[in-house]
């Protein structure tokens, strides 16, 4: 029970990572466009992030090194700077999209103006980061995001065809480019680089050591597993509601409508509460991830575990990234499109993010008896090969399918 309550880091990393504003709509689009046959892609992606999250948490527990420190140590200065710049660009774009998404969700509740609520969202996020301890941030945004389980309940209440759902979890050969576009997007959404940067730095914030191996495994498997269930639920419920009606979801409002169909106003409110905290969690993930990466690359003192005022460079960079995200959101760019571009174009950077984890995780000189076992090694390298394949296929499919349309 105690361990179950300690999985907030995994929950917020997972929810913020693959049930963020873009992915919520992307999952719904996959359901509305391809339907159940795309389902198998979610567990494939989720298992991948579980493997790498467990490995990176284990590295923190033994070597006390978060992921960007590994990047810096294993790559030369040029490649680590390239990895930093690429990850910062993608993370800050995603941060802007999340803030824009928060503006939309709040506007559905109060109908004033999206840009006004983007301002409120950035102020609330800054206040939460400043006043709440790291554990408080994890618990509030992680657990409140679980209101998204309304989609799980909705998918059951809508009386799905369980046989079709079961067949959806078996990969099938398919000729349609749109099918592969969604499959690759769903796998990639689970492996977004900022999740792993946030997770490993969060483990340092929580002070994990060798006694926390069980907590790490629980976070990696239960936390990310819960995120995966939510992603599957949105896809299944959207297949039931949107696909037969011929609706292509382009906004978060359409996704909330999926919960309204079976449960009326209560479903709508629960969906928006879940989306609000999940997207809020993603905002926290991305803001911290950008600041952690920069600080770790530059060798600055970093972390929420110390007083923010005692670490001015880290705190200023955190504030700067929030402001940059705010500026992006205020341009009025569509947050959904922005995150979809970020997901697809983050894929080529994925190998650079995950390779150091594999190398250090398997290094007995660093990890001692906690080095990767046979299963971790096989799964890790198999997923690394898959990530390299995705890195080539994703941009090609994006152009070929006109963004899945």
Partner 1 sequence: MPRARSTVLALLTAALACGGCGGAMQPDELSRSIGTLESAAAEGALLGADVDRDRTKATFARAHARDLGDVVDHEAEKLQDASANGLVAERKAAAVDLAGRISEALGQIQTAPGSEREGRSAASDLTRYGNRAGKLAEGL
**Distance of alpha carbon 56 from alpha carbon 67, whole angstroms:** 7
**3-state class of 140 per DSSP?**
helix
Q: Which is nearer to partner 1, 43 or 267 (CB)?
A: 267
Task: Encode 318-381 in three state secondary structure.
Answer: HHHHHHHHHHHHHCCCCHHHHHHHHHHHHHHHHHHHHHHHHHHHCCHHHHHHHCCCHHHHHHHH
Q: How many binding residues for partner 1 (CB under 8 A)?
A: 25
Q: Which is nearer to partner 1, 114 or 204 (CB)?
A: 114
Contact string (CB under 8 A) for partner 1, positions 12-41, x = contact? ------------------------------
As measured in angstroms, the least distance from the Cβ of 119 to partner 1 is 17
Q: Which of residues 376-405 bind partner 1 (CB under 8 A)?
A: 399, 402, 405
By the 10 Å C-beta count (0-12 exposed, 13-18 middle, 19+ buried), 44 is classed as middle
As measured in angstroms, the least distance from the Cβ of 306 to partner 1 is 42
As measured in angstroms, the least distance from the Cβ of 92 to partner 1 is 26
Q: Which is nearer to partner 1, 7 or 256 (CB)?
A: 256
DSSP state of 222: I
Query: Taking CB under 8 A as the rule, does residue 81 contact partner 1?
Result: no
Q: Which is nearer to partner 1, 107 or 315 (CB)?
A: 107
Q: What is the CA radius of gyration of the chain?
A: 20
As measured in angstroms, the least distance from the Cβ of 57 to partner 1 is 39
Of the candidates 191, 256, 181, 123, the residue with the CA atom closest to the CA atom of residue 386: 191
By the 10 Å C-beta count (0-12 exposed, 13-18 middle, 19+ buried), 345 is classed as middle
Locate 68 and state its tokens: 């960007």
Q: Which is nearer to partner 1, 306 or 400 (CB)?
A: 400
Locate 159 and state its tokens: 């009386």
Q: Which is nearer to partner 1, 66 or 335 (CB)?
A: 335
Binder among 79, 110, 116, 161 for partner 1 (CB under 8 A): 110
Q: Which is nearer to partner 1, 298 or 402 (CB)?
A: 402
DSSP letters along 20-85, please?
A: SHHHHHHHHHHHHHT-GGGTTHHHHHHHHHHHHHHHHHHHHHHH---HHHHHHHHS-HHHHHHHHH
Determine how many CB atoms are found less than 10 A away from the CB of residue 386.
Answer: 16
Q: Which of residues 123-152 bind partner 1 (CB under 8 A)?
A: none
**Distance of alpha carbon 303 from alpha carbon 295, whole angstroms:** 9
By the 10 Å C-beta count (0-12 exposed, 13-18 middle, 19+ buried), 195 is classed as buried
As measured in angstroms, the least distance from the Cβ of 402 to partner 1 is 7
Q: Which of residues 226-285 bind partner 1 (CB under 8 A)?
A: 245-248, 250-251, 253-254, 256-257, 260-261, 264-265, 268-269, 272
Q: Are 42 and 190 in contact (CB under 8 A)?
A: yes
As measured in angstroms, the least distance from the Cβ of 107 to partner 1 is 6
As measured in angstroms, the least distance from the Cβ of 247 to partner 1 is 5
Which strand (E) or helix (H) includes residue 305? none
Q: Which of residues 202-231 bind partner 1 (CB under 8 A)?
A: none
Binder among 29, 67, 80, 107 for partner 1 (CB under 8 A): 107
Which of the stretches 8-16, 61-69, 104-112, 306-314 binds partner 1 when contact is defined by CB under 8 A?
104-112
Q: Are 61 and 370 in contact (CB under 8 A)?
A: yes
Which of the stretches 107-115, 136-144, 166-174, 374-382 binds partner 1 when contact is defined by CB under 8 A?
107-115
As measured in angstroms, the least distance from the Cβ of 302 to partner 1 is 39
Binder among 2, 77, 78, 111 for partner 1 (CB under 8 A): 111
Q: Which is nearer to partner 1, 246 or 299 (CB)?
A: 246
Which of the stretches 23-31, 57-65, 101-109, 339-347 binds partner 1 when contact is defined by CB under 8 A?
101-109
Which residues contact partner 1 (rule: CB under 8 A)?
Answer: 107-111, 245-248, 250-251, 253-254, 256-257, 260-261, 264-265, 268-269, 272, 399, 402, 405
């Amino acid at each position: 029970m105690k361990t179950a309550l300690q999985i907030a880091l995994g929950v917020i990393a997972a929810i913020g990572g693959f049930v963020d504003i873009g992915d919520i709509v992307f999952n719904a689009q996959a359901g509305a466009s391809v339907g159940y046959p795309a389902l198998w892609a979610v567990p494939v992606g989720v298992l991948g992030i579980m493997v790498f999250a467990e490995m990176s948490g284990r590295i923190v527990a033994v070597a006390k090194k978060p992921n960007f420190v590994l990047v810096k140590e294993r790559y030369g200065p040029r490649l680590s700077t390239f990895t930093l710049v690429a990850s910062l660009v993608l993370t800050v774009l995603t941060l802007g999209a999340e803030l824009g998404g928060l503006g939309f969700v709040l506007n559905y509740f109060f109908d004033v103006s999206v840009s006004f609520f983007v301002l409120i969202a950035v102020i609330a996020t800054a206040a939460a980061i400043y006043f709440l301890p790291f554990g408080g941030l994890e618990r509030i945004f992680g657990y409140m995001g679980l209101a998204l389980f309304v989609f799980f309940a909705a998918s059951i209440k809508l009386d799905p065809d369980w046989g079709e759902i079961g067949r959806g979890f078996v990969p099938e050969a398919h000729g349609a480019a749109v099918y592969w576009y969604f499959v690759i997007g769903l796998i990639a959404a689970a492996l977004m680089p900022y999740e792993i940067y946030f997770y490993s730095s969060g483990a340092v914030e929580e002070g994990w050591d060798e006694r926390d191996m069980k907590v790490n495994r629980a976070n990696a498997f239960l936390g990310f597993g819960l995120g995966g269930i939510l992603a599957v639920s949105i896809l299944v419920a959207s297949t039931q509601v949107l696909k037969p009606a011929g609706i292509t979801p382009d906004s978060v409002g359409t996704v909330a409508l999926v919960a309204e169909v079976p449960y009326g106003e209560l479903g709508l409110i629960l969906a928006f509460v879940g989306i609000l905290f999940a997207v809020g969690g993603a905002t926290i993930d991305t803001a911290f991830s950008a600041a952690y990466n920069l600080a770790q690359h530059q060798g600055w003192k970093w972390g929420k575990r110390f007083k923010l005022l005692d670490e001015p460079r880290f705190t200023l960079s955190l504030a700067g990234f929030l402001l940059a995200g705010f500026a992006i959101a205020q341009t009025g760019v569509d947050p959904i499109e922005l995150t979809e571009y970020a997901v697809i174009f983050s894929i080529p950077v994925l190998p650079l993010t995950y390779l150091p984890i594999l190398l250090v995780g398997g290094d007995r000189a660093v990890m001692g008896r906690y080095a990767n076992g046979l299963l971790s090694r096989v799964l890790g390298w198999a997923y690394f090969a898959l990530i390299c394949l995705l890195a080539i296929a994703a941009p090609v499919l994006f152009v070929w399918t006109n963004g899945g349309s």
